[in-house]
Amino acid sequence: MSASAIPFALRGDFIELDKLLKATALTGSGGEARHFISEGQVRVDGQVELRKTAKIRAGQVIEFNGQRVEVLPPA
C-alpha cells in the first residue's frame, strides 16, 4: 500500500463505487458520489469509471479528487 492511500477493507466480495466514495468520506452523500462518477471524475485502476454501481473488489485502486483508495480483502 502506498503511503498516501486510504486503505479500505471489504466486508464482502465487493462494494459499489458510489457506496465506497461515501464510506471513505470522499463525498458527503451517495448522491454527491453519483454526480462525480457521472462527470467522469473517478478513476478505477487508472481508467475513468462512469458506472455508479460498478462492483469494486479487493486489489483495485480508486482515485478521486487527488486521493487514492486501496481496496483490501475482508479481514
Q: Tens of pLDDT along 19-44?
A: 999 999 999 999 999 999 999 999 99
Cα–Cα distance for residue pair 12/65, rounded to 1 Å: 26
Domain 5-72: give its CATH code.
Answer: 3.10.290.10
Quick one: which of 42, 23, 21, 43 has its CA closest to 33?
21
The pTM for the full model equals 0.93
Residues 6 or more apart whose CB falls under 8 angstroms from that of 30 comprise 18, 19, 22
Cα–Cα distance for residue pair 4/74, rounded to 1 Å: 21
Give the confidence band of 75 by pLDDT, cuts at 50, 70, 90. Answer: confident
Pairing of strands 67-72, 5-9: parallel
